[in-house]
Copies of this chain bind each other. A is one copy, B any other.
C-alpha cells in the first residue's frame, strides 16, 4: 500500500454507511461506494465519492474495503460474488463494521485471509449521530499489523478506537457485550417505570428519583422520557434490538455462556415486535408490561 491516502471501497451506504463514507471523502481518500439501492450509491457520488455499479467494481483497485452492510450474508456476498475480493490491491485489508455474530465473523475472516488479504472485525457504536460526527466508538479485532494499517482510516470514522483482541470475532463479541447492556437496560427501565405506573406513583417524579440515584443508566436518561410519551418520535426501533439481542444470545450459544438477563430482554422485545409494534421507538418496550401482551413467561 502506498503512503498516499488509501483508496477505499465502501460497501453499504445506509444511514450509518453514507456519513462514514463521506467523512473519508472529506479526509482526502478516494472512495468508491456501492449500495444495493442505486439511489444510496448516487448520494455518495453527490458528495465527491465514486459511484460503483457493483461491489466488485467498488473493490477493484482499492487498498481497503469497508463493509457497513446489514448482516454477515451481505458482507460475504459483496466480497465473494464474481470474485470481487480479487480486485483488492496486494496487501489489501477488509474491514467489516456491521454488527454480526462473532463465530460468523471469524469464519468470514478465514475466507478473506485464505484469499490473501488482511481482515479486521470492527463493529461500531455511537449511532447515526456518531457516524455523522466521525465520533464513533470502534471495537476492532485482528492481527496487530493489520490494525495498525487500518488505524489512520479508523481515526477518520471514530473518536475512540479500541484494539480489543487479535482474533476476528472478538470485536463482534465486544459489540455484543455492549448491545447486551443497552438492550437489557431499556428492559429494566421499562419494567421499573411500569411498576411505578401500576401503583399510581407519579411517573415524572419516579423518573426524577431514579435518574438521580444509583439506579440510573445512560438508557434510562435517554429512553426514560420517551417511555412517558404515548407516541414518541422513533429514534431507534424495537426491531433493531430484536436483531442485536438475537446476535447476543447467538453469541452466548456457541460458548455455553449463560445469558439469562439478555434472553429475558430479547423475549420482551420479540413480544412487542410480534404484537405488530416492531417499528415503534424502542422506548415503547414498556408496552410489554401493559395488557394484553404482559403475560409473564
Residues in A lying within 8 Å of B, measured CB to CB? 102, 125-127, 137, 139, 160, 162, 164-165, 167, 169-170, 173-174, 176-182, 184-185, 187-189, 191-196, 198-202, 205-206, 208-210, 212-220, 222, 248, 251-252, 255, 257-262, 264-265, 267-268, 288-289, 294-297
Question: In this complex, what residue of B is CB-closest to A174?
Answer: B201
Q: Given A160-B212, A258-B289, A260-B267, A196–B177 Cβ distance below 8 Å?
A: yes
Q: Is the CB of A195 within 8 A of B217?
A: no
Q: Which of B188, B198, B288 contacts A257 (CB 8 A)?
A: B198
Q: Is the CB of A164 within 8 A of B209?
A: yes
Instruction: Tell me, rounded to whole Å, the shortest Cβ–Cβ distance linking A81 to chain B.
Output: 30
Chain B residues in 8 Å Cβ range of A289: 257-258
Q: Is the CB of A174 within 8 A of B209?
A: yes
Give the docked Cα–Cα distance between A181 and B193 (Å). Answer: 10
Q: Is the interface of A mostly helix, strand, loop or mixed?
A: helix
Q: Is the CB of A196 within 8 A of B209?
A: no
Chain B residues in 8 Å Cβ range of A265: 261
The 7 A-B pairs with the shortest beta carbon distances in the complex, nearest first, are A181-B215, A217-B217, A173-B199, A258-B296, A184-B188, A216-B218, A178-B215
Q: Is the CB of A178 within 8 A of B209?
A: yes
Q: Which of B177, B193, B217 contacts A185 (CB 8 A)?
A: B217
Give the docked Cα–Cα distance between A187 and B137 (Å). Answer: 24
Chain B residues in 8 Å Cβ range of A187: 261
Give the docked Cα–Cα distance between A167 and B200 (Å). Answer: 9
Give the docked Cα–Cα distance between A268 and B126 (Å). Answer: 31
Instruction: Tell me, rounded to whole Å, the shortest Cβ–Cβ distance linking A247 to chain B.
Output: 12
Give the docked Cα–Cα distance between A275 and B67 (Å). Answer: 46
Q: Show 26 residue pairs from A and B whose CB-CB distance is below 8 angstroms, ordered by the A residue.
A: A102-B199, A125-B213, A126-B213, A137-B213, A160-B212, A165-B201, A170-B201, A177-B192, A177-B201, A177-B206, A178-B209, A178-B213, A180-B195, A181-B217, A181-B220, A185-B185, A185-B215, A191-B259, A195-B248, A199-B255, A216-B217, A217-B218, A259-B296, A260-B297, A261-B264, A264-B264
